Amino acid sequence: MIEFIYFGLEALIIILLALFIALLFNGIERKLIARMQARIGPPITQPFIDVKKLFIKENIVPDNAIPWIFNAMPLIALASSLLVLLYIPFGGMPALLQNYGDLILVVYIMLIPSLALAIGAFASGSPYASIGAQREIVIMISYEFVLSVIVIAVAWLFSLAFPQANAFSFATINEHAIWSVAGPVGIAGLLLLFISSLAVMPAKIGKLPIDIAEAKTEIADGVLVEYSGRNLALLHMAQATRMFAFASLIVALFLPWNLSNIFSLSGTLALIGDFAFFLAKVFVIMFVSGIFVSAASARLKIDQAAKCYISFIFLLSLIGLMLIGLDIML
Partner 1 sequence: MRLSEKKKCSIAIGPIHPALKEPIQIEVKIEGEKVTDVDFALGHVHRGIEWIGLRRNPLQILYLAERVCGICNISHPLAFCTAIENAANIKVPERAEYLRVIYAELERIHSHLLFLGVAAHELGFDSILHYTWLVREKVLDIIEYLTGNRITKAVLMIGGIRRDITKEQIPKIKETLKYYEKIYKKLCDIFLDDPTIKLRTRDIGVLTKEQALKLCIVGPTARASGVKKDIRQDFPYAAYADLKIEAITPATLLNEIRGDVFDRVIVRLLEVKQSMDIIKRCLKEMPEGPIMYEPVLQKLLVELKQVSNEGVALVEAPRGELIHYIRMKNSEAPVVWKIRAPTYANMHAIPAILKDCQLADVPIVVASIDPCISCANRAIVADKNNIVLNQEKLHELSVKKTLALTKDKVKGEGND
| Site for partner 1, rule CB under 8 A | 36-39, 122, 127-128, 130-131, 134, 208-209, 211-212, 215-221, 295-304
Least distance (Å) between residue 143 CB and partner 1:
18
Give the separation between CA 40 and CA 33, rounded to whole angstroms: 10
For residues 61 and 67, the answer to whether their CB atoms sit within 8 Å is: yes
Name the region of 207 (left: φ>0; alpha: ψ -120 to 50; beta: rest): beta
Least distance (Å) between residue 165 CB and partner 1:
43
For residues 111 and 178, the answer to whether their CB atoms sit within 8 Å is: no
Q: Which is nearer to partner 1, 191 or 310 (CB)?
A: 310
* Closest C-alpha to 256, from 281, 276, 273: 281
Give the chain's largest Cα–Cα span: 63
Q: Which is nearer to partner 1, 262 or 288 (CB)?
A: 288
Q: Which is nearer to partner 1, 61 or 305 (CB)?
A: 305
Least distance (Å) between residue 30 CB and partner 1:
12
SS3 sequence, 182-240?
CCHHHHHHHHHHHHHHHHHHHHHHCCCCCCCCCCHHHHCCHHHCCCCHHHHHHHHHHHH
Amino acid at 136: E
Least distance (Å) between residue 121 CB and partner 1:
11
Q: Which is nearer to partner 1, 17 or 307 (CB)?
A: 307
Least distance (Å) between residue 194 CB and partner 1:
23
Type and span of the H or E element at 101: none
Least distance (Å) between residue 198 CB and partner 1:
17
Q: Which is nearer to partner 1, 5 or 40 (CB)?
A: 40
Amino acid at 59: N
Q: Which is nearer to partner 1, 251 or 293 (CB)?
A: 293
